A and B are shown apart, each in its own frame.
Chain A
Amino acid sequence: MENSKLPLIIRREYMAKVRNKSFVIMTFLSPILMVGMIALIAYLTKVNDSDKKVVGILNQSDYFSTDFNITDRTSYIFFEDISLEKAKDSTLHLGLSGLLYIPDYENLEEVVMESYFYSKEPPSAAVLDPLEDVFQERLRQRKLLTFGVSPEEFKLLNQPFEINILTFSGKQNLKGINELKAIIGGGFGYLIMMFIIIYGGFVMRSVIEEKTSRIIEVIISSVKPFQLMLGKIIGTSLAGITQFVIWILSASLLLFAVFMIFGIDLTGLSTQQSLPSPLGAPAPVDVPMDAMQLYAMEFLEIPWVLLISLFLVYFILGYLIYSSIYAAIGAAVDNETDTQQFIFPIILPLMLAIYVGFFSVFSNPHGPIAVGFSLFPLTSPIVMLMRLPGGIGDGGVPLWQVLTSILFLIITFIAIVWFAAKIYRVGILMYGKKPTYKELYKWLRY
């Protein structure tokens, strides 16, 4: 009979949550808002990109002839055999972004010194940078020529170089794969943090509701306070998982639909941002197909099964720890405004974990700070998950660290739940007092 009560409580908490109007609205509105935001950003980026700057060029010098290559952002109109005044007039009439005037002189230095860029408004870097690059290249080439470097040799000078990186076993290592893995781990860590903050808050408000509606004493004359607390936490998390699943499913569907409708090319978006090609330099070396394949292979080689099962372990333990604290806070106060002083210390380790994760784990996934924070139980659910995509053992997280952090987490879980249950048990029957930390400490001994 005792055992049949917990499912009853879980069921009630779950139903109370999923029937709540604002919960329902948030469940269905959030994906729309989220997808709307992404679509808007994608759309704006596209609009921005299609807004090409056109610059007029009046080139009277032989030093610059074929140097101006059209780029993604700028294109050029070349004026020929007209005076500077006329060129200025035409530039204005055509509504161009500006006019580059290159006069004719004997030597390059003079030409460069006397070149001007005319425009109505101060020109943006997107317009000026490629132009300046052209001048700079020409000047460098010229200088090197005086040192005896031929233009052909100069071209060779500009070959980009990447060092070959290998593992000790001779497998090719990939640049940026650590960052990619950390981002995947970071995604999981971030998910845990969001889940804790949102649904921990729900648990807390639900406890406060029971206190303010005065039903609490009726309930705990039938069930143990600990059962009620546990049922509340589990019921609320199940509601949370339901919401998350709905969010992920509907957001992916919507996103797919939006991109189909507007024809926004996702791959196009990402390459444009990551590879701005400098003018004058030879076209960037294409990533060879086998490198792409290597990335794909690495991606597939991320230990997904291990990662997801450990995600569940860290998620469940981390969430239970934090939501018990939230439940205890809810029990200690009479209304939500009194919760602020207690909530900040909870959010702190979570924020710390995220920041440490993004700043330290990304650059050095197995450094001392990353290791320390992935063992410390209040931050380990987030930080360890950021390290884990590298795998366990050779080249990844040492097995002992994973086991130790889980052990710490379990010990902390038991201790925190014990403390929280005590505070909860006393707190739910206390009315009208705004508790202090000192008071909470006293409750532990009741």
Chain B
Amino acid sequence: MNNILVAQEVTKKFGNQYALNKVSLSIPENCIYGLLGPNGAGKTTLIRIINQITFPDSGSVLFDGRPLRPQDIASIGYLPEERGLYKSMKVGEQALYLAQLKGLTKSEAKKRLKYWFERLEIGDWWNRKVQELSKGMAQKIQFIVTVLHQPKLLIFDEPFSGFDPINANIIKDEIINLKDQGASIIFSTHRMESVEELCEYIALLHNSEKILDGKLDDIKKQYKNNTFEVIADFENTNTGLENLKSHYNIGIDEIKGQNGHCHFNVRLPSDDTKRFLADLSTIASVNSFVETVPSASDIFIKTVKDKNGK
């Protein structure tokens, strides 16, 4: 699979402060790539470098296999976290202006805007002024303007902020739709549940450095540690559990339940689920036995904590 974007040892300093320190990333074509990290980790700087708003002190960025060129901005759509519209301009006029800045002709921009305005059900806002719009409305227009020129690479920085859950879902579906149509998407956010839902790949930035990247599934596999969540009904809670505890690593505090109905986590020494299940079934009837896979959020918190601990 080709990479739409490759960053090679990109370094950027502001004064004496590193914003990015030798960050290397490969973003595969036609996927949703999550760019994660705490505030101030360097995400926005990296995104601004990709958009050629700022330039790296050293290192290089390849777009579609060759070094990033000024005209590539026509192939990139960027929805910044700090976004807004001219307040006193009319909605349609403003969308046309922004689309033309991206290189669309006026008539083409008009045609596509009409399509999108109808699609997101804001057609009757064309002649209104932006200051009359609700925040969610304005966000929809910004989303449209970002994707209107059908760029190969889309960069969304916190795209769901300012949306109510219903509209956030509409936008999420649109993002998936765009990916299905062939776009590559960089997705920067703090909202981990949306990362889980959307991202195929992630990279984690922390203190200007990349500390983790790869396929989300692979990373999760690395981070799981044979922990299982068990729900079972014991015939005799006390003796049964004591028995299990002497053989397996069960956190006492994690045991919840009454009248023999128990809910606990167990960490097995190896992948030996067969023996544990056999042992368990002799003293209890098992309702549920599920491997606990760490969430992106868990991984995020754990890696950052580990890094800080060092």
Identify the A interface with B (CB < 8 A). 1-2, 5, 8-9, 12, 16, 19-20, 209-210, 213-215, 217-225, 429, 431, 442, 445-446
Taking CB as reference atom, which chain A residue is nearest B97? A12
B73 touching A221 by the CB < 8 A rule?
yes
Extra 11 A-B pairs, beta carbons < 8 Å, given A12-B97, A220-B53: A1-B74, A8-B97, A215-B85, A217-B78, A218-B85, A219-B98, A221-B53, A221-B76, A221-B80, A222-B73, A222-B102
Identify the B interface with A (CB < 8 A). 14-15, 48, 51, 53-54, 70-71, 73-74, 76, 78, 80, 82-89, 97-98, 100-103, 142, 145
B86 touching A215 by the CB < 8 A rule?
yes
From B85, B98, B101, B145, A213 is in contact (CB under 8 Å) with B85
Cβ-closest 8 pairs across A and B: A214-B84, A217-B80, A222-B101, A213-B84, A221-B78, A221-B51, A215-B84, A214-B82
Taking CB as reference atom, which chain A residue is nearest B82? A214
A1 touching B84 by the CB < 8 A rule?
no
**A391 to nearest B CB, angstroms?**
47
Which residues of the partner chain A approach B48 to less than 8 Å between Cβ atoms? Answer: 429
Which residues of the partner chain B approach A429 to less than 8 Å between Cβ atoms? Answer: 48, 53
Which residues of the partner chain B approach A210 to less than 8 Å between Cβ atoms? Answer: 86
Known contacts A1-B71, A446-B14; A219/B101 CB under 8 A: yes
Most B CB contacts (10 A, CB to CB) among A9, A218, A223, A429 go to A218
CA of A19 to CA of B87, assembled, Å: 13
**A222 to nearest B CB, angstroms?**
4
**B67 to nearest A CB, angstroms?**
18
Most B CB contacts (10 A, CB to CB) among A9, A19, A213 go to A213
CA of A215 to CA of B86, assembled, Å: 7
Known contacts A16-B86, A213-B86, A442-B15; A218/B97 CB under 8 A: no
CA of A221 to CA of B71, assembled, Å: 11
**B308 to nearest A CB, angstroms?**
25
CA of A2 to CA of B83, assembled, Å: 23
Which residues of the partner chain A approach B80 to less than 8 Å between Cβ atoms? Answer: 217-218, 221
Most A CB contacts (10 A, CB to CB) among B14, B82, B102 go to B82
B83 touching A218 by the CB < 8 A rule?
yes
Known contacts A215-B86, A217-B83, A218-B142; A223/B101 CB under 8 A: yes
Taking CB as reference atom, which chain A residue is nearest B106? A8
Taking CB as reference atom, which chain A residue is nearest B51? A221
CA of A442 to CA of B86, assembled, Å: 30
Which residues of the partner chain A approach B71 to less than 8 Å between Cβ atoms? Answer: 1-2
Taking CB as reference atom, which chain A residue is nearest B15? A442
Most A CB contacts (10 A, CB to CB) among B53, B71, B85, B88 go to B53
Cβ contacts A to B, 15 pairs, < 8 Å: A1-B71, A2-B70, A2-B71, A16-B88, A16-B89, A209-B86, A213-B85, A213-B87, A214-B84, A215-B84, A218-B98, A218-B145, A221-B78, A222-B101, A223-B101
A8 touching B100 by the CB < 8 A rule?
yes
CA of A91 to CA of B142, assembled, Å: 85
From B51, B84, B89, B101, A8 is in contact (CB under 8 Å) with B101
CA of A216 to CA of B76, assembled, Å: 17
CA of A9 to CA of B145, assembled, Å: 17
Taking CB as reference atom, which chain A residue is nearest B131? A213
Which residues of the partner chain A approach B103 to less than 8 Å between Cβ atoms? Answer: 1
Most B CB contacts (10 A, CB to CB) among A20, A215, A223 go to A215
From B51, B78, B101, A5 is in contact (CB under 8 Å) with B101
CA of A224 to CA of B84, assembled, Å: 18
Which residues of the partner chain A approach B102 to less than 8 Å between Cβ atoms? Answer: 222
CA of A209 to CA of B87, assembled, Å: 9
CA of A228 to CA of B142, assembled, Å: 19
CA of A224 to CA of B101, assembled, Å: 11
Which residues of the partner chain A approach B84 to less than 8 Å between Cβ atoms? Answer: 213-215, 218
**B52 to nearest A CB, angstroms?**
8
**B69 to nearest A CB, angstroms?**
12
B82 touching A431 by the CB < 8 A rule?
yes
CA of A317 to CA of B78, assembled, Å: 36
**B144 to nearest A CB, angstroms?**
12
CA of A429 to CA of B15, assembled, Å: 16
Which residues of the partner chain A approach B88 to less than 8 Å between Cβ atoms? Answer: 16, 19-20
CA of A431 to CA of B83, assembled, Å: 13
CA of A446 to CA of B70, assembled, Å: 20
Which residues of the partner chain B approach A218 to less than 8 Å between Cβ atoms? Answer: 78, 80, 83-85, 98, 142, 145
Which residues of the partner chain A approach B86 to less than 8 Å between Cβ atoms? Answer: 16, 209-210, 213, 215
From B83, B85, B98, B142, A222 is in contact (CB under 8 Å) with B98
